[in-house]
Structure 1
Amino acid sequence: MKKIRILLGSCGGLTGLYLSKLFRKSDYADFEIYGFDAESKNPTKFFVDKFFTVPNASNEEIFLNSLINLLNKEKIDIYFPLHSKEIRVVSKFEDRIRNSTDTKFIVSPYQSFLALDNKRNLYESLNKLGIRVPKIYSNEISPSDEEFPLFFKPESGSGSKGTMAVDTRAEFEILKKQKGLFLELLKGTEYTVDTICDQMGNLLGYNQRIRIKTLGGAAIITENNYEIDVGPYLQNIVKNFRVKGPANFQFFKTNKNEIVFTDVNLRFASGGLPLSVASGLNIPLLTVKLLLEDRINPEEYIPDKKHRIMYRYFEEIFEEEHDNL
């Protein structure tokens, strides 16, 4: 069995923990699993072979130097950047990393991040493609009373941090001093679509699921649902913005049967990815195969479309620290 050294970046969240366990159980290769994070206190360190503390990606130069040194020192074969901030930096300096290491990785072009990562840019970009997005209210013009409640969302950020319903004009006046968007509050069913694209930006496979319950923006109860097919929408976005590797898309099917796209994340989904894998679309392993240019059966890109529900629960780990005497 081939041996592959795989590095999980910014692995302190749900995605890093899940991937470490997934690759540990895989019979595709003998994965030696490495991980890093800016915080030493996180549960993923108990599930990897080696764990490293690396500076936060906020300081691009320090982070890049630490990353390149780690990739070379540990002879990493495949690197998965996981956090939005980390992935943006890796995309921005993609050529520098590739020219300095032998490690394989896949990220979307930096221009794609500029177009899709910031929420205002995202809605403008999708609107130009004829894709329905939430209505944006100007911070300078107060909505009519009939238009409340609204939804406030920061222009950039991960998960649901900073988002909230805006029920009154008084709340509107307070929040408009912050940098964010006031949007129509969508009512209906919220979906996430997990996707995988190749190095040329071609959509290869996707799995649709309903977000039933979330925690910190990550799905903890999610259910496959194929009552509608947004494949043509995905093809349109992926083609125009050259999306590469794993990505996830969020949209609402409103009570008026409108399809309204709300988010595009150029990374693994943070919560419901296990459901897509359990449904036959093993996006992490398919990404490894793409990077290794291994032969892939086309059926591996098609989920089984069974009615399946994922419930995520938490489990405790205890660590005792002792003073050195």
Structure 2
Amino acid sequence: MKEINILILSAGRRVELINCFKEAARKLNIKSNIIAGDCSDTAPALYFADKTCELPRINEPNYIDSIIEACNKENVSLVVPTIDTDLLLLSENKSLMEQATGAKILISDEAVIRICRDKINTQKFLEEHNFGVPKMHSVEEAQKSNLEFPLFIKPKSGSSSINTFKVNNAKELATYLSLVDEPIIQDFMEGEEYTVDVFLDFDSNIITSVPRLRLATRSGEIAKGRIVKDKDIMDNVASLLNILKPVGHITVQLMKTQNGIQYIEVNPRFGGGAPMSIQSGADSCVNLYRLLMGEELSYNENYRENLTFLRFDSSICLDENGELVK
């Protein structure tokens, strides 16, 4: 069996994801190197990977060429993005990169990425296909006194809940409008918030769907979560993704409100909390290896529910030479 090497882009703090891929290779008895790529030589994930490669920053002109070079040097079979700012550039260059390397790029089509990365496009897509979404207001509408508060404001292309605010009154609205670039203003949603990890094969067939109740968050990422097999959520998300047709591991955020299921956003990549779903049995890393080996996968719900995950920080130590102290 040939070696199946995986390149994780912008590896940063994705230690859990690195370890999930390593464990998946061990389970399947596959020879595989997990290669962590990052622009910083102090990214923690580098010290947990089998190999590392230094990549330029995403906005540098040689970024794509550097990934191609790394893929060819390390005989990479799959390239996995992990941050939002990568996605559009990778989707635009997907065919070029795959032809130049023979590796699969785990990225949805450019049209899908343009819907997901621009929250106005996401809103329009959801409305056009009759999925629940809080009503969106123009800045002019929101500044009128006849709109009911609270509202919610967020940037059009933001991530990690940066510059997202609940708006309680007109004074707060004026303040937040001065802080948020290209703002989107919506009705404020109240209810239980869920993240749904969905894995789709390279033909956009859904293989697993795992709702996680968000019990606590930090900096926009889940800190505590519970796996729940909520069929209403799973069926609704399946209907959405069968129209959108992304590929790979997708992270869907939504709320169950008194008005039903309402969507927050769709992130077409591994989310920070993905290892929760992977450890519950919906193993996207194992699935990816199997797809790369030419296997056909079918939909299943073979994961444990009612598991509660509590995430925490850890640290590693480097000596004066930048070597890991064990």
Superposition map of 1:285-300 within 5 A: 285-296=286-297, 298=298
Partners of 1:207 and 1:276 within 8 A in 2: yes
Which SS does the other structure have where 1:187 is aligned? coil
Of stretches 221-230 and 206-215 in structure 1, the one that deviates more from structure 2 is 221-230
1:24 aligns with 2:22: yes
1:68 aligns with 2:68: yes
1:80 aligns with 2:83: no
Specify which of 179, 191, 195 is matched with residue 192 of structure 1.
195
Partners of 2:152 and 2:186 within 8 A in 1: yes
User: Could you give the per-residue CA deviations for residues 144-166 of structure 1, whole angstroms, max 9, x where no partner exists?
Assistant: 47722221111112221111222
Aligned counterpart, 2:265: 263
Which SS does the other structure have where 2:266 is aligned? strand
| 1:116, distance to aligned residue in structure 2 (A) | 2.2
| 1:93, distance to aligned residue in structure 2 (A) | 0.7
Aligned counterpart, 1:209: 212
Which SS does the other structure have where 1:77 is aligned? strand
Aligned counterpart, 1:318: 317
Aligned counterpart, 1:241: 244
Partners of 2:18 and 2:34 within 8 A in 1: yes
Superposition map of 1:39-54 within 5 A: 39-54=40-55
Partners of 2:94 and 2:105 within 8 A in 1: no
Instruction: Give me the whole-angstrom Cα distance separating, in 2, the residues matched to 1:179 and 1:295.
Output: 43
| 1:228, distance to aligned residue in structure 2 (A) | 4.5
Which SS does the other structure have where 1:219 is aligned? strand
Instruction: Give me the whole-angstrom Cα distance separating, in 1, the residues matched to 2:84 and 2:191.
Output: 27
Q: What amino acid is the match of 1:242?
A: K
Which SS does the other structure have where 2:159 is aligned? coil
1:99 aligns with 2:99: yes
Specify which of 153, 177, 182 is matched with residue 179 of structure 1.
182
Structure 1 moving runs of 4+ over 4 Å = none
Q: What amino acid is the match of 1:161?
A: I
Which SS does the other structure have where 1:140 is aligned? helix
Superposition map of 1:296-307 within 5 A: 296=297, 298=298, 301-307=300-306
| 1:2, distance to aligned residue in structure 2 (A) | 5.6
State the percentage of identical aligned residues: 26
Q: What amino acid is the match of 1:212?
A: L
Q: What amino acid is the match of 1:262?
A: I
1:127 aligns with 2:127: yes
Q: Which runs of 5+ in 1 are unaligned?
A: none
Which SS does the other structure have where 1:260 is aligned? strand
Q: What amino acid is the match of 2:306?
A: H
Q: What amino acid is the match of 2:234?
A: G
Q: Structure 1 158/288 Cα, relative in aligned 2: closer, same or farther at 3 Å?
A: farther
Of stretches 49-58 and 225-234 in structure 1, the one that deviates more from structure 2 is 225-234
User: Could you give the per-residue CA deviations for residues 272-305 of structure 1, whole angstroms, max 9, x where no partner exists?
Assistant: x122112210012202211331354x47x32334
Partners of 2:20 and 2:278 within 8 A in 1: no
Q: What amino acid is the match of 2:194?
A: Y
Instruction: Give me the whole-angstrom Cα distance separating, in 2, the residues matched to 1:123 and 1:251.
Output: 13
User: Could you give the per-residue CA deviations for residues 8-39 of structure 1, whole angstroms, max 9, x where no partner exists?
Assistant: 111103xx311211222332113211111122
Which SS does the other structure have where 1:23 is aligned? helix
Instruction: Give me the whole-angstrom Cα distance separating, in 2, the residues matched to 1:250 and 1:303.
Output: 22
Q: Which runs of 5+ in 2 are unaligned?
A: none
| 1:4, distance to aligned residue in structure 2 (A) | 2.3
Instruction: Give me the whole-angstrom Cα distance separating, in 2, the residues matched to 1:227 and 1:104.
Output: 32
Q: Structure 1 288/157 Cα, relative in aligned 2: closer, same or farther at 3 Å?
A: farther
Q: What amino acid is the match of 1:132?
A: G
Computed over aligned residues only, the root mean square deviation of the Cα atoms, in angstroms, reads 2.0
User: Could you give the per-residue CA deviations for residues 198-252 of structure 1, whole angstroms, max 9, x where no partner exists?
Assistant: 2222222201110111112111100012344223322332222221111011110
Between Structure 1 and Structure 2, how many residues are aligned?
Answer: 316
User: Could you give the per-residue CA deviations for residues 62-98 of structure 1, whole angstroms, max 9, x where no partner exists?
Assistant: 1111111111112212221221222321111111101
Which SS does the other structure have where 1:130 is aligned? coil
